[in-house]
A and B are shown apart, each in its own frame.
Chain A
Amino acid sequence: MKIIRSMVLVSADDESLARGAQDVFHAFLEEIDEFGLSDQITVTTIRDAGMHGEKPTVIVYPDAAVYGPVTVEDVHTIVEEHLHKGNIVPGLLAMMREMAPEIGWMRGRRGALPVQKRIVLERAGVVNPASIEDYILYDGYQALGKALTKMTPAEVIAEVEKSGLQGRGGAGFPTGRKWSFVAATPGSPKYVICNADESEPGTFKDRLIIEGDPFSIIEAMTIAGYAINAHEGFIYIRGEYPLAYKRIEHAIAEAEKHGMLGEHIFGTDFSFHIHPHAGAGAYICGEETALIESLEGKRGMPRARPPYPTTYGLYGKPTVVNNVETLASMPAIIRNGAMWYREVGSPKSTGTKVYTILGNVNFTGVIEAPMGITLREVIDIYGKGMKNDKALKLVQTGGSSGTIVPASLQDTPLDFDAFRNAGVSLGSGALLVCDEDTCVVDLAKVILRFFRNECCGKCTPCRIGTLRLYEIISQISEGRGSLDDFDLMQKISEAMSEVSNCGLGQTAATALRDILKYFRAEVEAHIVDHVCPTGVCPIKELAAVA
């Protein structure tokens, strides 16, 4: 795979284009080719770097140096000095003080953004998922070999803890600490569970990882088993992923055949077995305690917590439950060491994150980016801009239970801390991009209908709350709402988030709460004026009938 060392972004908004951005872009391509750097440097356009009066603007990663206004004559100097020799050209830098606030973040990140490494998706889409030879060819099982023959379980846990890896399932709990809890808890046997019940709408990263690189999950679970002294592991695979199930089953058989799973792995005394288990299509079973109940053969309903699964998990025994993506990061961490992993991402949120981009962007799909990238970058660079050149209205992060980020907050870096501070959840990594034609009432209605259907019914606030909220928002969307509904919705959603038993009820109203916070006027238009500003909601017909 081509390793991109550096990246050049040329602004291509109307003003930049009028001032010759296109020629600058082509000049970069030519000069980079001249220096023989085409393999290491990509040149891309972004729509607007926000630099007024400094256009066309050129931003060079990973240094985040902002040049502007750049003319064709400057290109040679930038390529020779910066890209070839590695020195930023001070004379051509845009005046940083005039930089628009929307790219203010760049200053803070100067030189902090490393060259990207694909860690989780290293092999997905490169290797044949059915072939253990391919996996071994791409450094597979080096980590397990290293862990089993050269490290003690405590050293493995210490390494994971040092890497700063946080769980990628949504909550972001430090993985090393979780492992050390289980290792320290008395009780035997202990279990490792891989949560592959990826039921959050819009998320499909785990499917891609399992379908493309099933051996990495098996290797990582074996490492986890060694670290916490467990001899059995379970992979709970979402029922709608039959292909993933098939590939995991095949991979388990292959690994056993090669002595990488089963008895006496790598010729040591350590034994580990993995059992795949297919879910039956319930959203709630992605919640770890409901997943454990389901795995035990009971109805998938969350337990009261504490005790947490780390002390009272599967069959009442200490259990590690890790997300697919978390586990997929593990072999690389053990193989290359914690310090190598820490180089990627931001200091507090290390490593990379896999995002699924969907909605109104030109390119949808799965990406792996360092922690700390911003939504603007994701949309412009990876999503290749908004579809049909529409304006961005909002992004929902982390699936249906996730928060709504309005366009004005799109420069918040995507990492656990910054997001927590901004009151946003990074969640499962789904980024649902919505353009100006999206009606927030309609969006809320779709989300709440989903939760009404998926609520397990165990606790009252969630069971009644999801239903009532759906009814209220449906009425609003039909133009039959009243202004009192705001207070009522507020009250219900607060009660749900405070007293619901599990994450489903606690987060079901997150999107609604954010919509009322950022888009209140639009909801009011539905109620007071009986108008849906985007024309999505079927108000007119109904009003005419009434």
Chain B
Amino acid sequence: MKKIQSLEDLKKFREQIIEEKRRKASAGKVELIVTLGSCGIAAGALDVLQAVKAQVKADHLDGAVVSETGCIGLCHHEPILEVVIGDQPKVTYGRVTVDAVKRIVREHVLDGKVVEDYVIDATPFPTI
């Protein structure tokens, strides 16, 4: 990796990243994000992460990316699983169980139907 030497370098590097993201989004790429803060892990997010990975493998979703992020501040809803399909808005699921993962992957990712039972308000803390 070449080191970033100036603001110009940083800008170019950032544009590369944006380009990459855009390519993925327009390809209808599926991203499954598990929030892995300490609170999430305590609530069983690691099990959910394993289940998501296993389900993605079982259903041969080769294009799907399983990634992690930090706590989003909704500690009472943990474990949380976010699903982004292409450039569609992000869907946030709360209190996700290992069983729920199967449903979410099958119904939402494969059939395009959001699993309403687990959906939580993505902006539950309103920004005044």
- Which residues of B lie under 8 Å from residue A207 when comparing CB positions? 37-38
Q: Is the CB of A3 within 8 A of B76?
A: no
- Which residues of A lie under 8 Å from residue B71 when comparing CB positions? 124-125, 208, 211-212, 366
- Which residues of B lie under 8 Å from residue A127 when comparing CB positions? 69-70
Would you call A257 an interface residue if the criterion is a C-beta within 8 Å of the partner chain's C-beta atoms?
Answer: yes
The residue of chain A having its C-beta at the shortest distance from the C-beta of B2 within the complex is A259
Q: In the complex, which of the residues B5, B21, B69, B75 has the most CB atoms of chain A within 10 Å of its own CB atom?
A: B69
Within 8 A of B (CB), among A121-145: 121, 124-130, 133-134, 136-137, 141-142, 145
Query: B14 to chain A: closest CB distance in Å?
Result: 5
Known: A257-B1, A259-B4, A260-B4. A4 touches B127 (CB 8 A): yes
The residue of chain B having its C-beta at the shortest distance from the C-beta of A366 within the complex is B73
Would you call A470 an interface residue if the criterion is a C-beta within 8 Å of the partner chain's C-beta atoms?
Answer: no
The residue of chain A having its C-beta at the shortest distance from the C-beta of B37 within the complex is A211
Binds B, one of A80-88, A110-118, A296-304, A504-512: A110-118
Size of interface on A: residues with Cβ below 8 Å to B: 58
Q: In the complex, which of the residues A125, A134, A259 has the most CB atoms of chain B within 10 Å of its own CB atom?
A: A125
Size of interface on B: residues with Cβ below 8 Å to A: 36
Query: A86 to chain B: closest CB distance in Å?
Result: 17
Query: B122 to chain A: closest CB distance in Å?
Result: 8
Q: Is the CB of B6 within 8 A of A243?
A: no
Q: Is the CB of B69 within 8 A of A266?
A: no
- Which residues of A lie under 8 Å from residue B123 when comparing CB positions? 2, 4, 42
Query: A137 to chain B: closest CB distance in Å?
Result: 5
Known: A142-B10, A259-B4. A116 touches B72 (CB 8 A): no
- Which residues of B lie under 8 Å from residue A22 when comparing CB positions? none
Would you call A234 an interface residue if the criterion is a C-beta within 8 Å of the partner chain's C-beta atoms?
Answer: no
Within 8 A of A (CB), among B55-78: 67-77
Query: B65 to chain A: closest CB distance in Å?
Result: 10
Would you call A416 an interface residue if the criterion is a C-beta within 8 Å of the partner chain's C-beta atoms?
Answer: no
The residue of chain A having its C-beta at the shortest distance from the C-beta of B73 within the complex is A366
A61–B128 CA distance with the chains assembled, in angstroms: 7
Q: Is the CB of B69 within 8 A of A129?
A: yes
Within 8 A of B (CB), among A1-45: 2-4, 7, 42, 44
Would you call A364 an interface residue if the criterion is a C-beta within 8 Å of the partner chain's C-beta atoms?
Answer: yes
Would you call A367 an interface residue if the criterion is a C-beta within 8 Å of the partner chain's C-beta atoms?
Answer: yes
Query: A259 to chain B: closest CB distance in Å?
Result: 3
Known: A44-B126, A118-B127, A243-B41. A128 touches B7 (CB 8 A): no
* Mask: chain B, 32-48; 1 = CB below 8 Å from A; 0 = not: 00011111010000000
- Which residues of B lie under 8 Å from residue A204 when comparing CB positions? 38-39
* Mask: chain A, 207-226; 1 = CB below 8 Å from B; 0 = not: 11001110000000000000
Query: A142 to chain B: closest CB distance in Å?
Result: 7
Q: Is the CB of A266 within 8 A of B5?
A: yes
A129–B39 CA distance with the chains assembled, in angstroms: 15
The residue of chain A having its C-beta at the shortest distance from the C-beta of B3 within the complex is A259
Q: Is the CB of A62 within 8 A of B13?
A: no
Known: A136-B17, A266-B7. A125 touches B128 (CB 8 A): no
- Which residues of B lie under 8 Å from residue A133 when comparing CB positions? 17
The residue of chain B having its C-beta at the shortest distance from the C-beta of A64 within the complex is B128
A326–B74 CA distance with the chains assembled, in angstroms: 22
Would you call A146 an interface residue if the criterion is a C-beta within 8 Å of the partner chain's C-beta atoms?
Answer: yes
The residue of chain B having its C-beta at the shortest distance from the C-beta of A355 within the complex is B73
Q: In the complex, which of the residues B39, B67, B127 has the most CB atoms of chain A within 10 Å of its own CB atom?
A: B127
B74 contacts which of A145, A257, A365 (Cβ < 8 Å)? A365
A136–B36 CA distance with the chains assembled, in angstroms: 20
Q: Is the CB of A128 within 8 A of B127?
A: no
Query: B75 to chain A: closest CB distance in Å?
Result: 4
- Which residues of A lie under 8 Å from residue B3 when comparing CB positions? 257-259
Q: Is the CB of B6 within 8 A of A149?
A: yes
The residue of chain A having its C-beta at the shortest distance from the C-beta of B20 within the complex is A133
Q: Is the CB of B72 within 8 A of A124?
A: yes
Would you call A537 an interface residue if the criterion is a C-beta within 8 Å of the partner chain's C-beta atoms?
Answer: no
- Which residues of B lie under 8 Å from residue A367 when comparing CB positions? 73, 125
B128 contacts which of A243, A260, A365, A370 (Cβ < 8 Å)? A370
A121–B69 CA distance with the chains assembled, in angstroms: 13
Would you call A381 an interface residue if the criterion is a C-beta within 8 Å of the partner chain's C-beta atoms?
Answer: yes
Q: Is the CB of B128 within 8 A of A4?
A: yes
Query: B116 to chain A: closest CB distance in Å?
Result: 18
- Which residues of B lie under 8 Å from residue A130 when comparing CB positions? 68
* Mask: chain B, 111-128; 1 = CB below 8 Å from A; 0 = not: 000000000001111111
* Mask: chain A, 89-132; 1 = CB below 8 Å from B; 0 = not: 00000000000000000000000010111100100111111100
Q: In the complex, which of the residues A115, A211, A364 has the most CB atoms of chain B within 10 Å of its own CB atom?
A: A211
Query: B33 to chain A: closest CB distance in Å?
Result: 8
Would you call B18 an interface residue if the criterion is a C-beta within 8 Å of the partner chain's C-beta atoms?
Answer: yes
A208–B40 CA distance with the chains assembled, in angstroms: 11
Known: A7-B126, A267-B6. A136 touches B69 (CB 8 A): no
- Which residues of A lie under 8 Å from residue B67 when comparing CB positions? 128
Within 8 A of B (CB), among A251-282: 257-260, 266-267
24 A/B residue pairs, CB under 8 Å, sorted by A: A4-B123, A4-B128, A42-B126, A62-B128, A117-B127, A124-B71, A125-B69, A125-B70, A128-B69, A129-B69, A129-B70, A130-B68, A137-B18, A145-B6, A208-B71, A211-B71, A212-B37, A259-B3, A364-B75, A365-B73, A365-B74, A365-B125, A366-B73, A381-B126
Give 20 new A-B contacts, CB below 8 A, not counting A115-B127, A121-B73. Answer: A2-B122, A2-B123, A4-B123, A42-B126, A124-B73, A136-B14, A136-B17, A137-B14, A208-B37, A243-B37, A258-B3, A259-B5, A266-B4, A362-B76, A363-B76, A363-B124, A364-B76, A365-B75, A365-B77, A373-B128
Q: 6 closest pairs, A vs B, by CB?
A: A212-B70, A259-B3, A125-B72, A267-B5, A366-B73, A116-B127
